Amino acid sequence: MTSARTAPPKDPPVPSDPLGILLLSGDHDRAHYAFVVASGAAAIGRQVVLFASNKGCLALCRDWSGLTDANRDARIQANGVAGLETLRDACQEMDVRMIACEAGLRAEALDSGLLLPGIEVSGIVTFLSAVGSGQIITI
């Protein structure tokens, strides 16, 4: 009796349409996961556009300690999970397009000079245009 061998499962194809991530929250857990999703999608070759508005813009600032429960970052790193700095750096290295909403910055009285280098300041039309027919998720 011979046993049938099955081929290893193939990875699903990477969608060609961009992934748009809309970050509205200023909570560390949501900001952190927005960068988890962005870096994961970029790692498999997907084009990613991360758009932060309102308090979500804090995640794009050099100093993101204004995020609610920012101390959570040290706790998750102690448990072996990549922290926000690591994920943001990975996103920048993988050319994730990051946009801070101009109106969101104004609404939260945040100066664009507080943002990481390379962060684009623009509006929702730019984000929607960049994502086109791709997926948009809100975190």
Reduce the DSSP state of residue 21 to 3 states and report it.
strand
98 within 8 A of 118, measured Cβ to Cβ:
yes
What is the number of other CB atoms lying within 10 angstroms of the CB of residue 81?
13
Q: In degrees to the nearest 10, what's the CA dihedral of 83, 87, 88, 89? A: 110
Reduce the DSSP state of residue 73 to 3 states and report it.
helix
- Pairing status of strand 48-52 against strand 19-23: parallel
Q: Which domains, ranges and CATH numbers included, belong to the chain? A: 19-138 (3.40.1260.10)
Q: What is the pTM of this model?
A: 0.89
pLDDT tens digits in sequence order for the chain, 139 residues long: 555 566 666 777 776 899 999 999 999 999 999 999 999 999 999 999 999 999 999 999 999 999 999 999 999 999 999 999 999 999 999 999 999 999 999 999 999 999 999 999 999 999 999 999 999 999 9
